[in-house]
Chains A and B, each alone.
Chain A
Amino acid sequence: MSPEEQKQPTHPETPTAKQAQRSMLLTALYIAQAQYGHLNDEALQRVAERLGLPLSEVYSTASFYSLYRLKPVGRYVIQVCDGLSCHLAGGADTLVDYIRQKLGIRVGETTSDGLFTLQTVECVASCGTSPAVRVNDELYENMTPQKVDRLLDQLAGR
């Protein structure tokens, strides 16, 4: 860029180059997470370098949002909906307890074979077919312990 182009933007709400880079941070972290599985130091460093942002800023942002993962997760992240509808449908607690026992892990943990991570989430926007479970980006509706059994077997066999 020539010094002329470097001049302060004329409109007060036009972002500076720095602000423009910063505005890409959330998307960049999302992409990095998809590539690395979770946001490890290497992923965060690469994001910081590509956007020209300080490491501290990248880490602050990544650790602020609960949907970014700073620790490794299993190949399949099982998110059991803990929202109101799923509760009323009598599912959430039963399903979480059932999966916990079946996999031998607590909520937030990953099985030792690295296959499954169990999480509870606050509504996956499927109230009409509650109780709902999401595995990675796929939705499973009207869940019962029997359906969970079939689903886990199927995933483990993939």
Chain B
Amino acid sequence: MTKVQITIDGQKIAAEAGSTVLEAAREAGLDIPTLCHHPALSNWGACRICLVEIERQRALQTACTFPVTEGMVVHTESEKVVAARKFVLQLLFSERNHYCMYCQMSGDCELQSLAYRYGLTEWPYPRPVEPLAVDATRQYFVMDHNRCILCRRCVRACAELVANHTLGVRERGIHSMITADLNVPMGESSCIQCGTCLQVCPTGALMDLKSAYRGRETQVERTRSTCVGCSIGCGIELVSRANHLVRIEGDWDAEVNKGLLCVVGRFEPLFDDRQRVTQPLVRRRGLLEPCEWDEALGLVAEKLSGDSLAALITTRATNETMTQFGRLFRSLGAEMAAVGSLAPAPGAEGRLTDLAEADVILVVGADLKKDHQVAGAFVRRAVDRGARLALVADADNGLASYATWHVGFDQMDSLVGMAAQASRPVVVCAADLPAEAEAALAPLAGKASFLGLSRGSNSRGAVAAGLPLSRGGEASARVLYILAEDDRLHIPRNGAGFVVAQASYVGPLTDMADVVLPAPIWAEQSGHVTNTEGRVQSVQAALTPPENVWPTVKVLKTLAGRLNLAL
């Protein structure tokens, strides 16, 4: 990379040619304030807060858009700059409602902290604020236009990152407002509630119903982990306070998702209202009654050693749990399975990043608006860039409007032939495809890169631990052991005489079980999971499980001990 010599605030800096003044300054550890700028989004230059003085330039320039040139001399906090920033802030504060003390973002708000930084002590302009209606039509988060500064980060996130293009800005001047589609309520729009806009909003305009007012940045803990909502395995940050999950954010540095999340990963875990299992339970006279671990494990160990045995495990479990589970039940001669499945990959296995380079993307049997939604965002981005989408799926597929071609399985061959002619084709396959569809992909082996989307978050980890995959309903044995943790598994009893459920929540499995062993939820355990690309990623515990809930691996090891198995 070519370097150019520039001077910022008297400091000589070798900046990368082509970078902006802002990037060069930040690289050198200098702080130029920003509002509309976000590192994950295109540069906009709309808010004017990053104005800097550049010698030999007639007017102040926006650091976020101005490219560095050889010999450039920049002043980032000169008297002129400070006066301009203060003026910009005064204008921003003169529109709409910025009474910070009532806002959930108070203390963490980028606008508020700039007001402190530049000493805004009064409203210098009359504030003809007409209250605007709050849009609370979405399930998980609210848009309060009264707090919006129209920086358009949300609009750019929706267009550039999620490629969903729901958001826009209506009208102009003082009447400008963030809007959705043809000016409809957010909840009736094409919004997929991924919450990326929420994550980039610099003020309190976008409010997460769950985390609002539940803790400022200084009061919460952040734990980097991996989402187990599906097999993409997005990098996340778990935001917690006093052993409660407050919020989940996409990890901007994660290679897999680069900050993106979907509704499943960002919101659903926070709205899980199932009742926890907090102690071992044993069924007596038809009713589940609390008991000690010792008694429950004794009873389970006794049952495991005798009859024919089937053991099922959720694919939300970590690799460590899978391994321990495999060792225990293999030595007991059990019929084992993990509840998930892999997608076919008749050729070279690809990565999600391949989508960014593809010219033709063939999606087979997957609805990426419903499942693996982050992959859906990457496909839409590719289409925006000029790649063409060939869809082999039902007519109501969520990406239908992005597709150049859309056929059913019966006409799949034509699209396979077309993809074979492309220069960089990528095939995205769902799991559990009809056998004919799998066979039809064969001509693309050696030509396309294959991105299989396995069903179950950690199906690949299960396979690596030597566990066969299944739908979960096939096992029939006298004794059934189900390690479900927090998964919503539906497993039939199939005539088993004795059922053990190792579960985090009360549900159909515990209703059927003879012994229930309490299990931690995913956010309470550390370990690793293997995503659908084969990437082994770390899951970190952000919460401590309830007092009487043992780690899953400890339960499996204790059982092995009781059965005198050396594992």
| Interfacial residues, chain A to chain B (CB-CB below 8 A) | 2-3, 6, 8, 16-18, 41, 44-45, 54-60, 63-64
Contacts and interface: CB of A to CB of B under 8 A. Distances in A.
A3 B423 contact: yes
B558 interface: no
A44 B359 contact: no
B38 to A, nearest CB: 19
Shortest 8 CB-CB distances between A and B: which pairs? A56-B168, A54-B165, A60-B168, A55-B181, A63-B170, A63-B171, A59-B182, A3-B423
B416 interface: no
30 contacts: A2-B421, A3-B359, A3-B360, A3-B421, A6-B359, A6-B388, A8-B386, A17-B386, A18-B386, A44-B182, A54-B159, A54-B165, A54-B166, A55-B181, A56-B155, A56-B167, A56-B168, A56-B180, A57-B165, A59-B168, A59-B170, A59-B179, A59-B182, A59-B183, A60-B168, A60-B169, A60-B170, A63-B171, A63-B172, A63-B183
Interface residues of B, number: 24
B386 A16 contact: yes
Contacts of B474: none
B190 interface: yes
Contacts of A63: 170-172, 183
Contacts of B422: 3
B481 to A, nearest CB: 51
Contacts of A45: 182
A56 B384 contact: no
A59 B386 contact: no
Interface of B: 155, 159, 165-172, 179-183, 190, 359-360, 384, 386, 388, 421-423
B423 A59 contact: no
Given A6-B386, A55-B190, A60 B421 contact: no
Contacts of A6: 359, 386, 388
B166 A56 contact: yes
Contact of A57 (B168, B190, B386, B423): B168
B358 to A, nearest CB: 10
A155 B96 CA distance: 45
Nearest to A60: B168
B179 A56 contact: yes
A119 B362 CA distance: 53
A41 B189 CA distance: 13
Contacts of B421: 2-3
Contacts of B388: 6
Contacts of A16: 386
B380 to A, nearest CB: 11
Contacts of B423: 3
Contacts of A57: 165, 168
Contacts of B167: 56
Given A3-B359, A17-B386, A18-B386, A56 B171 contact: no
B523 to A, nearest CB: 35
Nearest to A59: B182
A59 B181 contact: yes
Nearest to A8: B386
A63 B360 CA distance: 35
Contacts of A60: 168-170, 179
A64 B165 contact: no
B35 to A, nearest CB: 20
B507 to A, nearest CB: 40
Contacts of A44: 182
A129 to B, nearest CB: 32
Contacts of B179: 56, 59-60
Given A3-B359, A3-B422, A56 B165 contact: yes
A135 B384 CA distance: 42
B168 A18 contact: no
A42 B172 CA distance: 23
Given A3-B421, A55-B190, A41 B171 contact: no
A18 B159 CA distance: 14
Q: Which of B182, B183, B359, B386 has the most CB of A within 10 A?
A: B182
A47 to B, nearest CB: 11
Contacts of A59: 168, 170, 179, 181-183
A56 B423 CA distance: 33
A57 B165 CA distance: 8
B377 to A, nearest CB: 14
Contacts of B181: 54-56, 59
A44 B422 CA distance: 34
A46 B166 CA distance: 17
A56 B191 CA distance: 11
Contact of A64 (B155, B172, B183): B172
Contacts of A18: 384, 386
A60 B171 CA distance: 7
A59 B168 CA distance: 8
B440 to A, nearest CB: 21
Q: Which of A44, A57, A59, A64 has the most CB of B within 10 A?
A: A59
Contacts of B171: 63-64
A64 B159 CA distance: 19
Given A6-B359, A54-B181, A63-B183, 10 more contacts: A3-B422, A6-B388, A54-B159, A55-B165, A55-B182, A56-B155, A56-B166, A59-B168, A59-B170, A64-B172
Contacts of B166: 54, 56
Contacts of B165: 54-57
Contacts of A56: 155, 165-168, 179-182
A55 B170 CA distance: 12
A45 B166 CA distance: 14
A41 B360 CA distance: 33
